[in-house]
């Protein structure tokens, strides 16, 4: 959970897609590829194209993080523990922590 970059008093929940130093292929941001700067991370909602996330406002300061979501509790039929996983198509293109680089498709 983080404060919204437009209004830090408003809380939003987004999936962390990339950490500082990672290179991410964006989905509609002003630059096609972004290297996440130090002290920032890249967040996205699960509903691509209609989510207010880093593709709209860019990398987010780590200082805006308030908590980590661990469970979905509403609606009741979705009650479950949230597993830390990234969709395959949203993984960083490179990861400075292990030196890996994924293939670019363009």
Asked if the structure places residue 31 within a domain, the reply is yes
75-100 pLDDT tens trace: 999 999 988 777 777 888 875 555 55
19: domain range?
Answer: 2-82
- Binning pLDDT at 50, 70 and 90, where does residue 105 land? very low
Question: What does DSSP assign to residue 97?
Answer: T
Say what the alpha-carbon torsion angle 31, 32, 36, 41 is, to the nearest 10 degrees: 100
Query: How many Cα atoms sit within 13 Å of 105 on the Cβ side?
Result: 7
32-66 pLDDT tens trace: 999 999 999 999 988 777 888 999 999 999 988 88
Asked if the structure places residue 43 within a domain, the reply is yes
pLDDT computed for residue 32 by the predictor: 93
Judged on CB neighbours under 10 Å (0-12, 13-18, 19+), 7 is: exposed
Decide: pTM greater than 0.95.
no
Asked if the structure places residue 88 within a domain, the reply is no
- How far the first Cα of the chain sits from its last, in Å, is 33
């Amino acid at each position: 959970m983080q404060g919204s970059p437009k209004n830090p008093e408003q809380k939003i929940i987004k999936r962390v897609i990339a950490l500082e130093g990672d290179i991410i292929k964006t989905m509609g941001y002003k630059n096609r590829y972004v290297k996440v700067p130090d002290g920032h991370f890249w967040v996205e909602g699960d509903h691509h194209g209609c989510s207010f996330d880093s593709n709209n406002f860019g990398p987010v300061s780590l200082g805006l993080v308030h908590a980590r979501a661990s469970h979905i509790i509403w609606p009741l039929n979705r009650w479950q523990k949230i597993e830390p996983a990234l969709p395959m198509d949203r993984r960083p293109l490179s990861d400075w922590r292990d030196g890996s680089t994924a293939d670019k498709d363009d």
